[in-house]
Amino acid sequence: MDCIFCKITTKDIPSAIVLEDDKFIAIKDINPQAPVHILIIPKKHFSTLLECKDKGLLGDMLSMANQVAEKLDVNKKGFRITINTNREGGQTVFHLHMHLLAGRPLSGVMG
């Protein structure tokens, strides 16, 4: 399958990894919208949030966001997580991922 995030999880495409475990890879977004902009990407391919019926994995993805926030020391000041879903949700890469934004005050739809 020709999926850029699958290739990132297998490291066929290089990325700036901030944290990784058996289920997820957390990388720096190539086009950051805030001083801290991390993508948390499941290693298993789901095209959108709607396609993922694995409640455990969805919970683990939030847990991974907490770990990333703590590792990057944005947990106390605060951060935002977003899952853009389908076209009007702003999704451009059709492999499930969560954005973690931090490092500046966030307001508005995406800050």
Binding site for ligand AMP (CB under 6 A): 4, 13, 15, 27, 29-31, 39, 84, 90-93
Told to check if 45 binds Zn ion by CB under 5 A, we report: yes
Q: Is 97 an active-site residue?
A: yes
Told to check if 44 binds Zn ion by CB under 5 A, we report: no
Minimal distance, residue 23 CB to ligand AMP, in Å: 19
Phi, psi of 75 (to 5 degrees): -65, -40
- Nearer to ligand AMP by Cβ, of 75 and 84: the residue is 84
User: Within its chain, how far is the Cα of 99 from the centroid?
Assistant: 4
The string of DSSP letters for 31-42 reads S-SSSEEEEEEE
- Are 2 and 12 contacting, i.e. CB atoms less than 8 angstroms apart? no
Round to whole Å and give the CA distance between 65 and 38.
9
Catalytic residues: 97
- Residues within the interface to Zn ion (CB under 5 A): 3, 5-6, 45, 95
